[in-house]
Amino acid sequence: MKILIAGELNVDLVLQRYQSFPALGKEVLVEDMSLTLGSSSAICAAGLAKLGNHVSLVAKLGCDTFGSLCLDALVQLGVDCSSILRDASIKTGVTVSISSTQDRALVTYLGSIAALRASDISDNAIRSCRHLHVSSFFLQQALRPDLKSLFARAHRHGLTTSLDPGFDPSEGWARDLMDVLTEVDVFLPNEIELESITGVHDRNSALRALTNERTLVVAKLGSDGCMAFRGGEIVSVPVFPVNPVDTTGAGDSFDAGFLHAWLRGKDLEDAMRFGAACGALSTQGIGGTAAQASEIQASQLMRKVELLNPT
């Protein structure tokens, strides 16, 4: 399975297990830190590669130390980086993640994150793949205006498409996303994004509001598992019970697991369960890629939970 990801790249500085959350004018301590490969696109790409897919990532990086760190890490994780562009006029993006075992807050310098354009993605790169995935709709500022046409181009070449919107730092949740969804096959928001995009608090109603003739919406709900809307009915899958070490990138690892199963024709509920297993296992290491699951590991976790909770 060959998958193309058009995305953003940055490094993550992860500050782990704060004693109290920082407030203006005050200093707090954390128990540990790490500097790792970040970005939703890179974490999803690495997760798909770990599951055995051929993943090609097209993105932009600065010609700096952080850019080289990203590129080296992606190569080691088995991602095809031949379409990544280096640009000396921009700096590689950086995200500072202030995390606990339950959640995290993010501070981001965009830099290269916002630089990729649809014109940077060739028809040759598209037609050689089976699926196109895009993350971070609101951060990819140069790609965003032409994203609908990029997805339409992918459809003309026979690809399926998926989109993880990510958080909108402006909290404007502009309506252009709804127009883009008419060219999206799988939409993967989390619970905050689901409510913010639709303006609807009730999850069932929000799922119905986003679903159109083309788009399957699968919402990631943290400790409440995940939900989707299919054939007029809500499909729910519970979270897998693990003790998280770091939740950074868990949603992106869910995306990787779900897409891996969905692209192989698995039933929706089975694909959601596989995604949930991948997301859960990814929280067992520091950073988004350290503990991502292989297909065997995800299947073993699913089987273990089935044995403990027979229906």
Q: What is the mean pLDDT of the chain?
A: 93
Residue 25 within a domain: no
Summarize pLDDT for 162-174 with one digit per residue, the tens. Answer: 999 999 999 999 8
Quick one: pLDDT at residue 241?
A: 87
Q: How confident is the model at residue 297 (pLDDT cuts 50, 70, 90)?
A: very high
Asked if pLDDT for residue 80 goes beyond 90, the answer is: yes
To the nearest 10 degrees (0 to 180), the angle between helices 250-262 and 40-50 is: 50
Section 213-230 average pLDDT: 93
In a domain, 309, yes or no: no
pLDDT of residue 235: 95
> Could you please report the per-residue DSSP string of 190-228?
BHHHHHHHHT--SHHHHHHHH--SS-EEEEE-GGG-EEE
Residues 6+ away with beta carbon under 8 Å from 89: none
Whether 102 shows a pLDDT value over 80: the answer reads no
Residue 175 lies in a domain: yes
Confidence bin at 43 (pLDDT 50/70/90): very high
When divided into structural domains, the chain yields a total of 1
Residue 181 covered by a domain: yes
Amino acid at 106: L
Q: Give CA 96 to chain center in angstroms.
A: 17
Q: Contact 136/168 with Cβ under 8 angstroms?
A: no
Q: What is the pLDDT of residue 288?
A: 86
| pLDDT tens string 165-200 | 999 999 999 889 999 999 999 999 999 999 999 999
Look up residue 253 and give its two tokens: 């690892």
CATH code assigned at 270: 3.40.1190.20
Banded model confidence at residue 66, pLDDT cuts 50, 70, 90: very high
Name the least confident of 7-11, 136-140, 214-218, 240-244: 240-244
* Beta-carbon-side half-sphere exposure of residue 304 (alpha carbons within 13 Å): 11
Query: Alpha-carbon distance 170 to 105, whole Å?
Result: 15
Higher pLDDT, 156 or 229: 156
- Listed range (155-164, 274-283, 285-294) with the worst mean pLDDT: 285-294
User: What is the reported pLDDT for 156?
Assistant: 98
In a domain, 26, yes or no: no
The answer to the question of residue 310 being in a domain is no
pLDDT tens column, 254-275: 999 999 999 999 999 999 999 9
Residue with tokens 């958080």, as numbered in its chain: 167
Report the amino acid identity of residue 191.
Answer: E
Q: What percent of the chain has pLDDT over 90?
A: 78
pLDDT in tens, 120-143: 999 999 999 999 999 999 999 999
**Mean per-residue pLDDT, 8-17:** 90
pTM for the complete prediction? 0.92
pLDDT at 293: 96
| Burial label, 290 (beta-carbon count in 10 A; 0-12, 13-18, 19+) | middle
Domain that holds residue 191: 2-20+31-302
Confidence (pLDDT) at 310? 66
- Within-domain flag for 264: yes
**Mean pLDDT across the stretch 99-125?**
89
* C-alpha to C-alpha distance for 41 and 75, rounded to whole angstroms: 14
Distances (CA, A) of 148 to 77, 183, 185: 29, 6, 12
Q: Are 289 and 37 in contact (CB under 8 A)?
A: yes
